[in-house]
Amino acid sequence: MTTSGDYQVFEAGDVPLQSDVVFPSMRLAYKTYGSLNARKDNVIVYPTSFSAQHLDTEWLIQPGGILDPERYFIIIPNLFGNGLSSSPSNTDVTPFPAISYHDAVAVQRRLLVEQFGIAKIALVYGWSMGGMQAYHWAACHPDMVERAAIVCGSARCSPYNHVFLEGVKAALTTDPNFRDGRFAAKPSAGLRAMGRIYAGWAMSHAFYRDEVWREAGFNSLEDYLAGSWDIAFSRRDANDLLAQIGIWQRGDISQCPEFGGDITRALAAIRAHVLLMPGQTDRYFDVRDNEAEIGKLVNARSAELHPIPSIHGHRAGNPINYPADRAFINAEISAFLKR
């Protein structure tokens, strides 16, 4: 383990990936909150979402909040490609290998076991790409996971979601700074185009119809798009963004030798208590995907589908600025942790 800034780094060594490539000297950045109890059974794993680093998501961790560090030992593992864990921007590995959620969760498990001696996880909680990781945790390590909360996520990337991401990639890579499979310089035009596409998908029809953006102080739709979305991804390295889009598109809990591509078999392997919380108006991870999954969670201790009643689309699952959505999730997770 090494320390960098306000987080630690787990040195995983040379890691064989599902793509049959060995990633040399792989590094997993993580941060912990709270204290591990003597029984080591108060663990919450909280993986990061697309382009997010732990600083972007730790608002959820506060005394009496959705994830309470006074009761739980919370670990945020930074997903590969986010600029802190091994990413195109901080390694010399070229071309950057195709990493899967299975690869990511395997290294996260090594961190828990080798660094902390953890054998049981009280809860894996994740939003969006974090939710997909939570699903992978529950399917691949059913003996470790007691509860899995999948917020605006799914067991695999749907074709509809895949097409959305193709549009994002096309907008980004159309920038003239994309050459020979990499960005030679910051693609300002591509990042702005990417943000505009995201704006249409991230929020709901009702959000725009009712001009809800005015609640945040914007005076016009263009003002909102320019102030919120044109710069949404500019702080991130574009090569890192492409790497994470690939992880997202490849997401599928069944794509490993154990399940052989059989999603029904993969879902049946889950034995945790499962809470599926899609956003009622989310277009990335449609409620119907979770509806199809829940009937196949036949060996889960319990499986419940509680959509977030919100017009905030995908953002309902990360409601830093939406008190009603935050209160809904808080109440659901509080009850869920009592199971």
Catalytic positions, please? 128, 282, 314
Identity at 113, one-letter amino acid code: V
Identity at 338, one-letter amino acid code: K
**Distance, first Cα to last Cα, the chain:** 34
Strand partners, 131: none
3-class state of residue 148 by DSSP: strand
Identity at 315, one-letter amino acid code: R
Residue 321, judged by CB atoms within 10 A of its CB (0-12, 13-18, 19+), counts as exposed
Phi and psi torsions of 321, nearest 5°: -110, 10
Q: Which residues contact 5 (CB under 8 A, 6 or more apart)?
A: none
Buried-state track 251-287, b at ≥16 Cβ within 10 A, e below 16? bbbbbbeebeeebeebbbbbbbbbbbbbbebbbbbbb
User: How far is Cα 140 from Cα 191, in angstroms, rounded to an integer?
Assistant: 35
* Nearest residue to 81 via CA among 200, 286, 241: 241
Would strands 2-4 and 73-77 be described as parallel, antiparallel, or unpaired? unpaired
Helix axes 129-140, 101-110, angle to 10 degrees: 70
Strand partners, 201: none
